[in-house]
Amino acid sequence: MVQNRNKLIDFFVGNLSNAIVHTILEKAAGDNALLAKSYQKESINSRNTALHYRNMINPIYTYLPDRDIDFIKKCLTQKVTSELKSRFFKKYEHIDLTLIKSSIDKALQDMKVI
């Protein structure tokens, strides 16, 4: 099924935000190694799906244009913050909201967006 570029970016952002949330919750698991390992596994699955969409967004082998980068960063920040805050305010233990920016930057570097 052929999708337009904006739709592909939406799919990419949605899956990558899921992976980033998993990564931050993995750190919140703390000493629980089994839980952390499970979060890591699910993060990898979501990243692979995000990578699949990234490889359909041109330019594939180089960084995206600044306009796209700004849009993606803004959407990711909104989605990840929203997901984590919905847990944070319910007293979910050990969620570190300061990790959001660095996790997003790292994920985008891994995906060759920035």
Partner 1 sequence: MELIAKVSKGSVMDQIYLPKKRAGFPIGKHVLVSSLESKKTTEKPYFYHVKQLSPIKIRIIEEIFALIDSHVEKYDNIIITGSFLDQGFIFNDLDILLITEEKVSFLQKILEDTFRVKIQLLILDYKSLLVGLSTDPLYQSMLSQCVAKKRIIYKQKHTVIYQILDLHLLKSQTLPLNFDFLNGNEKYYLTRNMISILLFVQGKKITKERLNTAIKKIFHLKDIDVIKKNMLDKASFIKTYKHIYDQTFALIMSTIPHGTKQK
Applying CB under 8 A, which residues contact partner 1? 1, 10-11, 14-15, 18, 21-22, 25, 28-29, 32, 35, 38-39, 42, 45-46, 49, 86-88, 90-96
C-beta of 44 vs 65, nearer to partner 1: 44
| In contact, 100 and 24? CB cutoff 8 Å | yes
Instruction: Count the Cβ atoms, other than its own, within 10 Å of residue 96.
Output: 12
C-beta of 25 vs 111, nearer to partner 1: 25
Helices 5-28 and 66-88 meet at what angle, rounded to 10? 40
Q: How far is the CB of 19 from partner 1 (least distance, A)?
A: 10
